[in-house]
Every structure is written in structure tokens, then in C-alpha cells.
Amino acid sequence: MKKLIVILFLLTIAVFSNNEGEKKVENPLLVEWKTPFGTPPFDLVKNEHFMPAFLEGMKKHREEVDAIINNIEEPTFANTIEAFEKTGQILDKVSGVFFHLSGAHTNPEIQKISQELSPLLSKHSDDINLNPKLFERIKILFNKIDKLNLSAEQKTLLDKYYKNFVRSGADLNEADKEKLRKINEELSLNSLKFRENVLKETNAFELIIDKEEDLSGLPPSAIQAALEEAHKRGYENKWVFTLQAPSMRPIMLYSDKRELREKLFKASSLKANNNNEFDNKKIVEQMVLLRLKRANLLGYKTHADFVLERYMAKDPNTVYDFLMKIWEPALKKAKIELEELTAIAKKEGNNEPLAPWDWSYYAEKLKKEKYDLDEEMLRPYFRIENVIDGLFTVVNKLYGFTFTERKDIPTYHPDVRVFEMKEANGDHVGIIYTDYFPRESKRAGAWMDNYRNQSNIAGEYVSPIVFNTGNFTKPTKDKPALITFGEVETMFHEFGHALHGLLSKVTYPSLSGTNVAWDFVELPSQIMEHWVSEPQVLKMFAKHYETGEPMPDELIEKIQKVSKFNQGFATVSYLSASLLDMNYHTVAQEKPISVDDFENELFEKLGLMPEIGVRYRSTFFSHIFAGGYSSGYYSYIWAEVLDTDAFDAFKENGIFDSKTAAAFRNNILSKGGTEEAMTLYKRFRGKEPNVEGLLKRRGLIEE
């Protein structure tokens, strides 16, 4: 480690100057960005700039913290809490760029830097969080919080800092602090390795088809995309399907070749579980026990107890009770759905028991039979450019915002587009980057994050810069990007997160935008999905890519009718992953874990039907082992209770009612984490929601 630090230090010196005293070479990550709105200068940033910038950012951060703890004046909110909020700006700036690229456009060099950087950042974080002098100043203020004449937001911030420091180990003795440091470093490295293994396993697999008859059932768009993928990989007269969702999905929905569906399904469900160099089983087992050790060290029974203390749910029992209220009706509904699928399979000559790779295939056939609707009928109306325009129109009608594409802002890949969002009066709100197509350098899924949080300390207003990243169906040689209805919903979902970041109007960045309780953060995103299937909204943007004709009324009616179709399956699939997450993180004894046995025992206990595939098996469950969702994957459906109830307010008053939109903006979107989540929600809605609305919406109980 010492050798590594020396090398990195020398590298830093080399980047900034040379022995002959020549003019120093500027690192674009360490100078003021002259780009519009201070956006990242991606055209100037190179991989070799990152490590020196991180080292300088950490150094500067330490100096800023030292200035606070060495202040001889009595601690005040201004000279301690507010001062601390201003620290680490260089490090935040560099981190925003680097960690976005590591997820959206990585390469071996970035991955190598990540491995070297992980222990350094872990140590840096611990050095601050475990600093006794800094904690003492915060503790003095916390102990007299009600006598400091603070605003509600300032009280929230002080409370958050104090509790975060305690939860980070600031109250531990020195021996236990050292144990915590080692645990944090190991967890950081394991999480990084987990994500890299999933990406490598995803990229390594290819399903090669060399007989045209094996394409039976597949839509022309999927066949063309597979042909182009084969050409890209150097294959002639072949078709290649991958584990990327837009490539895999058509096989699972439409392929008449059961053996191909089985092969692809098993490859996906066994990602990072193939007993090779990219296997994640040991990493999962280590992370579960390390998280338990950390929780115990900090005085908590389990990792879930530690995590949920700061969430709306507060404790594991509340989460389990909530999930099981949905599990029972969902499982009952799924069994009814299985009977229908078995009947249609037998009608087509398949008398074998259905397997997980059969469910989506026969569900799509059943949907076609019952509603005369399948995914491919909708695709021609969802050209991605039209969907983006429709999304912007919805946001404009709700809040008055306008969007202007900025070609003068540099990007990191040709697929990326940049938009400036303005108020109705023309005032600048913020910048959003969109990056919607899959590639080997991008991890799976869709997500939103910030390059820069909104803040307004001492009247110095900083506008937000956010991004939306996805893996949607990309264009082919003869067709534009025609995305699925589910991908449309995902785009609206992620833009809801973006609005949460863009519309923040708070003072302190730690409480800005999406810095809220984890089981509240999905409300702004999931409520946006409701507009997608509204007839008047579909009329705005669902236009045939060739004729320009709007989606016909009969097709819109079919979308309405099919909204509750297959929801038993979808809900059980999701809940099985949520319960797997909770079971891992309510482990209360440090004893060896076998991933495969752990999964099997849980699913047998739950009575999970073998015909339903698990949404995320442990070894590629990146949300909880390489993301921020450990003990919190349930939050999507928890927030669905909120978003169902919240959208009812729009339905009651009109889906574009300006007063309801203003109330949602002012009470939810602009407030960040400045108050308790339920307080904000009740201020908007006037009451707490209940789970019954969600069950009715999903068709799990009768209206």
C-alpha cells in the first residue's frame, strides 16, 4: 500500500510540473470548467487525469476539514456544519465524472484505476467520518440543537450529520474504529469486483444462430438487430443474441425454439455463477458477513436494522409485514395465470410442465389471444425521438418547463445528448444528459445520478447537472430506434428521478434532490410512469414512424385493458428478489453461507412456483451488492403505494391540473430531504396512503 501511495504521489507531481521547471500541464479536472454552465469537459478529460485529480481532491478535502477542526472559536452551525457542507467540492466534481464513466462507458484502464482508487477513497472517507475532533464539534451542536435558533432545514442537516457520524463509527473506541476501516475497505473492493464480474459475464456470452429456421417466431426487427450484432463481431451468415435486455427479450417472448429460450434464460440466470474467475458466490458470502460484522460493531442486530433506521419503514419487521401482505394475493394470482398458460401451451401441443423460460413466451401468446395485442404491435409507434418529445411535452404541460438541446456541451460518447431545462419564463433550471443505448462499455439497467447537486449556501446558487442512462432498443441499418412500451415507461421513470434532482430548491447539497429516504426516492420516478398509458398522452407522441399517424383509439384501448395482465407473475418475480435481499441482510449470526442453498431454502419456504424465474439471482443482484439498495430493494413497491395514491390526486383534478402539479413540485420535488418523507407526502396529499390501492391497480384484488 505504501509503495502504491508513493507511486501515485510521484505521478501527481509529474502531471503538474517537470524537473526543468517548464510551464505546468493543466489537469482539466482541477481547473475551473469554462464549459456552458460548468458542465464536465469530456473532450479534454483523459484516463490519466483521474488519479492525480482524485489525489489532489482528497488532499484539498483534508485541508478543508483540518481548517474546521483547528478553528479555535466555539463550534457554531456556520463554522462547523455549513463549513463542512462546502468541503470536498473538487473531490465531488472528479467523482461525478469518473464514477459515471465507470458505469456508462468503462474500459480496462478505468477498471484498473477503480481497483487502485477503492481502498484510497475508503480510507479517506473513514479518516473524516472517524475524526474525533470533527465529531466532537458536531456533537456539541447536536446536544443543544433546540437552542440554536435553526431553520427546519438546518435542524434536519445537523441531525443528519450527527447520526451519520455515529452510524459511521465516530463513537467507537480506536480498536473498533480500526476494525471498521478494514471492513469498509473490503466491502468497497468486493462491491467493485462484483460489478466488474457481472459486466464481463454479460459481455462474454453470445447465442449464435446459424440456421434460418431457428429464427422461427422472432420479429423482423429482432432478426435484423441480431444480424448486425453478428457482423459487428465478425460473423457472416449468422445471427447473434446477447444478454443485453433489448437482444434477449425477443427470444424470451417470441422464439418458437424452446431450447434457445432455455439456453438464453439459463445463461442469464447463471451470470457470475459459473465457477470461473468471474464467479460472485464467494463475494456475496463475504459481503453478507462483512455487513453483519459492521452492523454488530455499530450496535445493530443485523445489517437491515442498521440500514432501515433511516428509511420510512424504520425496521425489518415492517418491511416483511408489508411484503407478505402483497405476496399472498400475488402468488394466488400467479397460480391462476399459470393455469391459463398451461392451457394455451397444451393447445399448441406442449404437454410438458412449463419452465421459467416458457412463461413469457406463452404469456405473450395469451395476451395476443385475449386482447389481440403484442409488444411488436406497439413498437412502430414508439420511435425514441418521438417518445423523448412526448416526455418533454408532458413535463411542459405539468410544470411549464422547456427543453433545448445543447450541441455546444461536450459529451463522452456519440449516443449522448444534452438538454437545458428552463422555466416557463426562460430562467435556467439545469442540465440533463441522456444516454439511452446499450454497449459493451456500459453496465446493464437504467439509472439517474448527478454530476452536480443543486445548492444555495450563503446565496451562492449552484444549478443541478444530472444524467439519465438506459439500455433501450437501438436503431438498425433500416429502422430507427423503435422501443418497447416497457422501455417507454422506463424512460419516463428515470426522468422522474431527473426532475427530483433538477427541481430541488434547498440550501444544502447534502439534502438536495434525491438525497431522501431510500424508500421515498422512487415516488417521483414511478409517478411519471402513470402518464405513459393515459390516452391523451399517447395521442401526443405515439405516432407511426413511417406514416406519422397517431396510435389508433382501438390500440390505446387495448393498452388500457391489458394493464393488469400477468401482474401475478410480475409481482411475485419482483417480491422474490425483495425478500432475498431482506433475508440476506437479516442474517444475525456469523456463520458460513452457501449462496445456492440460501436461495433454494428461501424460495422453498415462500412457496415460490418453479415456473417463475427469480428476477435477480444473488450473483448478479447488482442493486444490493454493487449499488445502494441493500435492505432496500423493497422500496420500489413501497413507493408504488405512494405513487398510486399520488396519481389519484391528478386523476381527481385532471392529469395536467396546474394546481396539483404545483403542489407536487412544491411539497415533494423541490424539498429534497429537508423534512421527514411522510411529512412531505401528507402535506401534498393530506393523508397517508394504504396498500389496497396498489393491490387494486395490479389486479391482485377486486376493485
Task: Give the residue numbers marked as catalytic.
Answer: 494
652's CB contacts (< 8 A; 6+ apart) are none
CA 285 to chain centre: 23
Q: How far apart are the first and last CA of the chain?
A: 62
Instruction: Provide the 3-class DSSP secondary structure of residue 114.
Output: helix
CB 541 within 8 A of CB 376: no
DSSP alpha helix (H) spans, 35-151: 47-69, 83-85, 89-104, 108-129, 132-142
CB 368 within 8 A of CB 260: no
CB 601 within 8 A of CB 565: no
Which residues on neighbouring strands pair with residue 240, listed in sequence order?
208
Which residues on neighbouring strands pair with residue 431, listed in sequence order?
420, 465
CB 477 within 8 A of CB 277: no
Q: Please give the angle made by the CA atoms of 615, 620 and 621, to the nearest 5 degrees.
A: 60
Task: Give the whole-angstrom CA distance, residue 613 versus residue 359.
Answer: 9
Residue 243, by phi and psi: left (phi above 0), alpha (psi -120 to 50) or beta? alpha
CB atoms within 10 A of CB 530: 21
Identity of the residue numbered 580? L
CB 447 within 8 A of CB 434: no
Q: State the maximum Cα–Cα separation within the chain, in Å, rounded to a whole number.
A: 83
CB 29 within 8 A of CB 58: no
Instruction: Provide the 3-class DSSP secondary structure of residue 33.
Output: coil
Comparing C-alpha atoms, which of 452, 456, 500, 451 is closest to residue 82?
456
What single-letter DSSP state applies at residue 554? H
Comparing C-alpha atoms, which of 488, 638, 486, 492 is closest to residue 574?
638
Task: Give the whole-angstrom CA distance, residue 258 versus residue 266.
Answer: 12
Cell of 274: 459459473
Identity of the residue numbered 194? F
Residue 626 — φ and ψ, nearest 5°? -145, 15
Task: Give the whole-angstrom CA distance, residue 551 versus residue 556.
Answer: 7
Q: What Å distances lie between residue 326 and 330, 405, 523, 624, CA to CA?
A: 6, 43, 18, 21
Task: Give the whole-angstrom CA distance, residue 164 versus residue 162.
Answer: 6
Cell of 84: 463542512
Mind spelling out the 3-state secondary structure of 604-627? Answer: HHHCCCCCCCCCCCHHHCHHHHCC
700's CB contacts (< 8 A; 6+ apart) are 326, 329, 330, 332, 333, 567, 568, 571
Identity of the residue numbered 253? L
Instruction: Provide the 3-class DSSP secondary structure of residue 452.
Output: strand
Task: Give the whole-angstrom CA distance, residue 80 versus residue 66.
Answer: 11
Task: Give the whole-angstrom CA distance, residue 47 versus residue 117.
Answer: 13
Task: Give the whole-angstrom CA distance, residue 190 versus residue 179.
Answer: 17
How many residues can be counted in the chain? 703
List % helix, strand, coil for the chain (3-state, nearest 5). Answer: 60, 5, 35
Cell of 481: 430506434
Task: Give the whole-angstrom CA distance, residue 324 versus residue 327.
Answer: 5
